[in-house]
């Protein structure tokens, strides 16, 4: 006789399912603890970690066209004791107000590493928009001993979901390390990493969006059909690959000239603004210029900046003749220079000045004995020497000797004074530069105002013309 079929007990079935899930969770946790690891790293999944699992073996990012986008998996990635800590309150959020930070100091899970060298200085954005799990991102620098310094870090983008995003000002040539970590132990999967310079990166044809993946809630049935092996949820497939399409912002140079040479000056009043090439301007930048002539003067008087001598009397030095006068009386002083009376050959002192310019007068302060200069040479920047005076010096003690000569038409960088081999001293040597005789006449576009503006549309050269009234 057939037994009467019995109706299933739904409460008992639900209880059995609950027990089954609890036991499965405990087994997964135990397996994670029993998997052998090396190097002190914790591998929760037990398989081979990705190649960029460690900071010393990062994926090298090259910011071609100032843009990078890649898909990387952190499945089977590990944590190392040397991984830096995402510190609570240490992640600046000024660029993204309301950004969510780690709720406490933590390492994150399944960390993977990336490295790039900034090609130019400027703002860099790094985000994980489109990743299949809850990410954390940190940007770090390292010193020669491998110590980390935090640049930026973030957990969640406000009003966006669980991806992460940071923005920071990169310095050209600086190496940066990007760390991507899972927020929780079960956060791993596909990492969608973007690194780019806003404004310099090409226009993107698609913007990845984060779409959360949820597991369907089981629907109880009268007669559940258990399966031997649970079917894992498939890893989400990224919807579209970013393709750069634009070119780098065009920048151009500006050069200025004066005619005749050294007759005046052209001042560029607008700072170069090219983000990727120094001393250039972005196309269509308006640049302001100013030309100045006779009112732009080299120093009216200059004292020597450095000095050398054929010899020096004991306790005196050639450098004592540089700068303004130090001695005010007719007396021997270690603050003035004297030649060594026992030295062989002609004696001289050569003084160098900061600004090369025409000279109309040389004033020599003789402070002990007086009257021992025999010759005066003026030397151009290229080393050409001109003897402008030679004769007898009758200057009294503690007075200025000013030999007469015509103002030079050439620039003078050095003064060489020849002296007798006697115990007398020079304290300072001053040169006087005559006024610039030139005045501004016009620009190369025939405009006569010293002030001018122009729009940069290509590499540009401008010339200011001067004349002697």
**Whether the predicted pLDDT of 383 surpasses 60:** yes
Domain ranges, ordered by start, for the chain: 59-196, 251-296+437-467, 301-432
Task: Please determine, for residue 192, whether its predicted confidence score (pLDDT) is greater than 80.
Answer: yes
Per-residue pLDDT band at 211 (split at 50, 70, 90): very low
The answer to whether domain 59-196 and domain 301-432 are alike in fold is: yes
Mean pLDDT lowest among 93-107, 136-150, 407-421: 93-107
pLDDT at site 295: 52
Decide if 210 contacts 31 (C-beta within 8 A). Answer: no
The CATH-assigned architecture of domain 59-196 is: Sandwich (2.60)
Where does the pLDDT of residue 344 fall: very low under 50, low under 70, confident under 90, or very high at 90 and above?
A: very high
The predicted model gives 109-121 an average pLDDT of 92
- Annotate the chain with three-state secondary structure: CCCCCCCCCHHHHHHHHHHHHHHHHHHHHHHHHHCCCCCCCECCCCCCCCCCCCCCCCEECCCHHHEEEEEEECCCCCECCCCCCECCCCCCCCCCCCCECCCCCECCEEEEEEEEECCCCEEEEEECCCCCCCEEEEEEEECCCCCEEEEEEECECCCCCCCCEEEEEECCCCEEEEEEEECCCCCCCEEEEEEECCCCCCCECCCCCCCCCCCCCCCCCCCCCCCCCCCCCCCCCCCCCCCECCCCCCEECEEEEEECCCCCEEEECCCCCCCCCCCCEECCCEEEEEEECCCCCCCCEEECCEEEECCCCCCCCHHHHCCCCCCCCCCCCCCCECCCCCCCCCEEEEEEEEEEECCCEEEEEEEECCCCEEEEEEECCCCCEEEEEECCCCCCCCEEECCCCCCCCCCEEEEEEEECCCCCEEEEEEEECCCCCCEEEEECCCCCCCEEEEECCCCEEEEEEEECC
Q: Considering only residues 255 and 1, tell me which one the structure prediction assigns the higher pLDDT.
A: 255
- Portion of the chain with pLDDT greater than 90, in percent: 41
Answer whether residue 217 shows pLDDT above 50. Answer: no
Average pLDDT over residues 350-368: 94
Least confident of 213-222, 329-338, 402-411, 446-455: 213-222
Model confidence at 246: pLDDT above 70: no
pLDDT tens digit string along 27-73?
544 444 333 333 334 454 557 889 998 899 999 999 878 889 899 99
pLDDT tens digits, 123-182: 899 999 889 998 889 898 999 888 888 888 888 887 677 888 888 888 989 999 999 998
pLDDT at 305 over 80: yes
**Mean of the per-residue pLDDT values of the chain:** 80
Region 301-432: CATH code: 2.60.120.260
Integer Cα distance of 263 and 294 in angstroms: 8
């Amino acid at each position: 006789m057939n037994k009467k079929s019995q109706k299933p007990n739904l409460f008992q079935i639900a209880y059995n399912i609950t027990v089954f899930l609890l036991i499965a969770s405990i087994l997964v946790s135990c397996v994670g603890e029993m998997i052998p690891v090396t190097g002190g790293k914790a591998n929760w999944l037990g398989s081979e970690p990705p190649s960029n699992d460690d900071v010393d073996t990062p994926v090298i990012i090259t910011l071609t066209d100032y843009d990078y986008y890649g898909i990387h998996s952190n499945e089977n990635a590990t944590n190392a004791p040397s991984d830096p800590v995402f510190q609570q309150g240490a992640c600046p959020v000024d660029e993204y107000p309301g950004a969510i930070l780690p709720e406490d100091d933590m390492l994150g899970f399944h960390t993977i590493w990336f490295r790039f060298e900034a090609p130019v200085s400027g703002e860099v954005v790094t985000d994980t928009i489109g990743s299949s799990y809850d990410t954390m991102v940190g940007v770090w620098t390292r010193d020669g001993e491998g110590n980390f310094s935090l640049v930026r870090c973030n957990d969640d983008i406000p009003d966006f979901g669980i991806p992460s995003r940071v923005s920071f000002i990169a310095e050209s040539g600086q190496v940066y390390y990007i760390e991507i970590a899972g927020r929780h132990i079960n956060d791993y999967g596909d990492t969608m990493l973007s690194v780019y310079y806003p404004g310099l990166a090409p226009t993107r044809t698609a913007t990845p969006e984060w779409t959360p993946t949820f597991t369907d809630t089981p629907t109880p049935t009268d007669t559940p059909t258990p399966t031997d092996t649970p079917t894992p949820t498939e890893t989400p497939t990224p919807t579209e690959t970013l393709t750069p399409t634009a070119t780098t912002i065009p920048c151009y140079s500006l050069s200025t000239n004066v005619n005749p040479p050294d007759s005046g000056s052209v001042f560029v009043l607008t700072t170069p603004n090219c983000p990727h090439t120094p001393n250039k301007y972005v196309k269509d930048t308006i640049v302001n210029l100013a030309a100045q002539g006779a009112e732009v003067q080299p120093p009216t008087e200059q004292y020597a900046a450095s000095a050398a001598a054929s010899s020096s009397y004991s306790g005196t030095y050639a450098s004592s003749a540089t700068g303004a006068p130090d001695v005010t009386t007719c007396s021997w002083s270690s603050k003035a220079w004297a030649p060594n009376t026992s030295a062989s050959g002609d004696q001289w002192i050569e003084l160098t000045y900061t600004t090369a310019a025409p000279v109309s007068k040389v004033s020599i302060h003789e402070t002990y004995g007086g009257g021992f200069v025999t010759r005066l040479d003026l030397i151009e920047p290229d080393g050409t020497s001109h003897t402008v005076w030679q004769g007898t010096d009758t200057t009294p003690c503690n007075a200025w000797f000013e030999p007469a000569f015509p103002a030079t038409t050439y620039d003078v960088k050095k003064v060489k004074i020849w002296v007798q081999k006697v115990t007398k001293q020079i304290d300072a040597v001053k040169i006087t530069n005559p006024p610039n005789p030139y005045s501004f006449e016009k620009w190369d576009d025939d405009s006569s105002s010293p002030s001018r503006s122009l729009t940069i549309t290509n590499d540009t050269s401008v010339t200011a013309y001067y004349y002697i009234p």
